[in-house]
Chain A
Amino acid sequence: MSETELCEAQATGESGGEGWEPLILTFCCYWCAYTGADLAGTSRLQYPTNIRILRVQCSGMVHPNLVIEALTKGADGVLMLGCHPGDCHYLEGNLRARSRAEAISLMLEDFGLEPERFRLEWVSASEGPRFAQVVTEMVEQVRQLGPSPYRS
């Protein structure tokens, strides 16, 4: 998400006070998760509008600094969605994402953030309902945690 969008989000009363709504940046891989999101849309499945989807070619290209930067610059949570292990279009990009996710979870503590603000999930191209479910769960979880301490 661009900084302009974050600023917009903050300007429209989402900056953490009254009427706060969680803002979750979602990295979706092109081959599985993004198609899954598409399917959820064309199947008219309902899910919260708190997510902003960023399409990436592979979950294996999401470096930890992107996630940390999003979380320290205004996002309340980050969701990383990729193909199921073994299904990666680039053979093992999602496995790389998995080992990076471990590093990210460790570092959230260093930045004073709850580990639940970051989540890595596998969503295949045919799993529209699962996409909607993961997003709903994540939004609920972050809503309970409250606004990110970096949002002020």
Chain B
Amino acid sequence: MAARLAEEWFAICGGCEVTILDIGEPLLDLLEKVQIVHMPVLMDHKLYGQTGEKTEMEIPEAEVGLISGGIRSDEHKRLAQEMRRKCKTLIALGSCACYGGIPALANLSSTEELLTKVYRESVTTDKNGFPHEDIPALTDRVYAVSEVVKVDMILPGCPTTPEMVAGALTALLEGRPFTLSTKSVCDECPTIREKKAVSTLRRRLEPPTFTPGAPLNQMRCFMEQGFLCNGPATRSGCGGSEGTPRCIRAYMPCEGCFGPLSEKANPMVDMMGALSTIGLDPKQIPDRAATFNRFSGAGRLRPVPKR
């Protein structure tokens, strides 16, 4: 019997759903093994019955549940709880579900400030009241799914990688364990590191120094070239079977989308340590909290006190 699969999306762009599609040919094999019972992005399955006749929200029972996106409203919270009740294994798909992702940068401001900015202070907006009819209330901040319900597996990445999604689902269906890498991006990065910066901090738009066509192991580390690279504080695994991290392969410094190496890690402290160690000036980082927690703001970022 095919395993039933339910999927929900919360505060997210939809990129992680595209990743599922991006699995390519292996997806065909995978689809034979699963039966999708609920997936708002793909199919018309309504929460309160197809004609809205039910009073309680209902998601069909499933063996595997996928949740993408962080939790931003009461509705997301209730949906996450319903998913947890109905799914045997719950997977957080993508960095938004795992760590809050980009939407969690909003945790730097209070909900009140956000609403005022968007609906009252923005010059291009008619100054109306806050929308409140027929929409769920916002939560006080963006939460990672694991902060609201128990999550059995996380698949980080922005978006996460097709290889990882396919690998995790296949492992789950075959009853094999699936584990994430516990190494950092630097551990899998082939560039040359000499523990000393050769430049002051540079903007990302400037080109790094490398010989086109030459292998990456002849190129100097991005951080040592003065580019902020989140590699030291980021979990590896984005390179998949190829090993070399995705952004590095494209001659770009790591953005940090795979999130911190452990639940307790504080990427800001690790990164400030890493960059001052090689001699870059920590004072030049304009917004260290947001820069180094770009994908892991849920539970790590909070409103900045006014000075």
Contact = CB atoms under 8 A, between A and B. Distances in A.
For chain A, give the interface size range. Answer: 10 to 19
B296 to A, nearest CB: 15
Given A65-B266, A68-B266, A110-B288, A103 B272 contact: yes
Interface residues of B, number: 15
| A-B complex: 7 closest residue pairs judged by Cβ atoms | A103-B276, A103-B282, A64-B273, A103-B272, A99-B276, A65-B269, A100-B276
B283 interface: yes
Given A65-B266, A68-B266, A99-B279, A106 B288 contact: yes
A63 B281 CA distance: 16
- The B interface, classified by DSSP as helix, strand, loop or mixed, is helix
Contacts of B268: 107, 110
A107 B276 contact: no
B283 A64 contact: no
Contacts of B277: 63, 96, 99-100
B272 to A, nearest CB: 4
Contacts of A64: 269, 272-273, 276
Interface string A104-115: 101100100000
A65 B276 contact: no
Nearest to A102: B282
10 contacts: A63-B273, A64-B273, A64-B276, A96-B277, A100-B273, A100-B276, A103-B273, A103-B275, A106-B283, A110-B289
B303 to A, nearest CB: 13
A68 B288 CA distance: 15
Interface of A: 63-65, 68, 96, 99-100, 102-104, 106-107, 110
Taking each of A64, A68, A110, which has the highest tally of chain B beta carbons within 10 Å of its own beta carbon? A64
A138 B58 CA distance: 62
A102 B282 CA distance: 7
A81 to B, nearest CB: 18
A65 B266 CA distance: 8
Nearest to B304: A110
Interface string B268-302: 11101101110101110000110000000000000
A70 to B, nearest CB: 12
B22 to A, nearest CB: 36
A107 B289 CA distance: 9
A82 to B, nearest CB: 15
B306 to A, nearest CB: 14
A124 to B, nearest CB: 24
A97 B269 CA distance: 15
